[in-house]
């Protein structure tokens, strides 16, 4: 901690950080996380609390893990370096390829050359990413999710979607725009957050269906969209959006068992609503 900030840090540590450490038992040295990205700000907060949370990367096909990082060697915003014996290569189209003794030999009777394919010992992960000069891997999106606009611009929807899902009010965000002039977004409201907010604003009907159309809610969400858009180039920014009157779910076939969005299902199911945004 810089000397100029030590007094302020000690104050926060006494009032807040010590409680966070206590919630984890008080003796936690390092926590590892994967499966979904965590905002850099959250990782930095836990670091300040003395609860280091390190992101790693892997999948069932890599015997669960391929990259990791430690307190001594880490870089927030990345998923770490390759484990000993694992090699990383970035294909010409940006796909992350992995090679090593931990890589499976392929799916039984399935030689599909897309996700999960093994070619010359390299696993095609289906993820897009980059490796910096120090060997730290960053995951930027899914290859199959790439959106190509009518103008030929390749967009990675996960980036802006994740930024919006980090806000208090939004539970799901799905970008749409393949072969369209610009990207738009479907969003759902986080009921646990938006309902108390609406009640505090004096909104009588605080049901999700009603809030999805309420002018104050639309203004609130527009503000979040504007803040997220500011980080991206003009062509990547969300131009219009609509809020669904219910959340996405497994029961309605919109989410997988691991709660990942079935993008094709959402695009087909809400095709009319998406099209209306281009009217």
Where would I find the H helices in the chain? 3-12, 18-23, 40-49, 157-165, 191-200, 208-211, 215-229, 263-269, 271-276
Rounded to the nearest integer, the mean pLDDT of the chain is 92
- At 65-119, the pLDDT tens digits run 999 999 999 999 999 999 999 999 999 989 999 999 999 988 877 766 556 788 8
Q: Per-residue pLDDT averaged across 145-162, rounded?
A: 90
Q: Per-residue pLDDT averaged across 209-226, rounded?
A: 97
> CA-CA distance, 250 to 243, in Å (whole number)?
19
Number of residues assigned to the chain: 279
Predicted local confidence at residue 111, as pLDDT: 62
Across 14-23, 150-159, 191-200, 221-230, least confident range: 150-159
If we measure between CA atoms, which residue out of 14, 21, 41 comes closest to residue 167?
Answer: 41
- The angle that helices 215-229 and 157-165 make with each other, rounded to 10 degrees, is 130
Predicted local confidence at residue 114, as pLDDT: 55
Q: What CATH number does the domain located at 56-140 have?
A: 2.30.38.10
The percent of residues in the chain predicted with pLDDT above 70, rounded, is: 98
**Yes or no: domain 146-276 corresponds to CATH 3.30.70.260:** no
Contact 149, 119 (CB under 8 A): no
> CA-CA distance, 182 to 78, in Å (whole number)?
29
- Does this model's pTM top 0.75? My answer is no
Per-domain boundaries in the chain: 1-54, 56-140, 146-276
| H or E, element range at 123 | strand 122-131
């Amino acid at each position: 901690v810089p000397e100029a900030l030590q007094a302020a840090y000690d104050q926060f540590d006494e009032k807040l950080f010590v409680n966070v450490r206590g919630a984890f038992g008080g003796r936690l040295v390092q926590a590892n996380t994967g499966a979904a990205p965590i905002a850099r700000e959250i990782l930095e907060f836990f670091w300040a609390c003395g609860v280091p949370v390190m992101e790693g990367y892997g999948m069932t096909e890599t015997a669960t893990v391929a990259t990791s990082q430690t307190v001594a060697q880490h870089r927030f915003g990345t998923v770490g370096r390759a484990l000993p014996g694992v090699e990383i290569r970035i294909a010409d189209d940006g796909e992350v390829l992995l090679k090593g003794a931990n890589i499976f030999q392929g799916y039984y009777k399935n030689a599909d050359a897309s996700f999960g394919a093994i070619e010359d010992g390299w696993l095609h992960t289906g993820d897009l990413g980059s490796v910096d000069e120090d060997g730290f891997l960053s995951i930027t999106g899914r290859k199959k999710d790439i959106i190509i606009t009518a103008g030929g611009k390749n967009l990675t929807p996960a980036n802006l979607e994740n930024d919006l899902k980090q806000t208090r009010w939004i539970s799901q965000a799905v970008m749409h725009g393949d072969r369209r002039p610009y990207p738009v977004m479907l969003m759902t409201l986080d009921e646990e957050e938006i309902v108390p907010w609406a009640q505090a604003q004096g909104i009588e009907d605080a049901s999700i269906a009603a809030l999805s159309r309420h002018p104050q809610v639309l203004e609130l969400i527009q503000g979040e969209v504007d803040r997220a858009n500011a980080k991206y180039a003009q062509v990547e920014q969300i131009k219009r959006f609509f809020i669904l009157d219910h959340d996405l779910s497994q029961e309605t076939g919109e989410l997988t068992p691991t709660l990942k969005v079935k993008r094709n299902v959402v695009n087909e199911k809400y095709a009319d609503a998406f099209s209306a945004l281009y009217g």
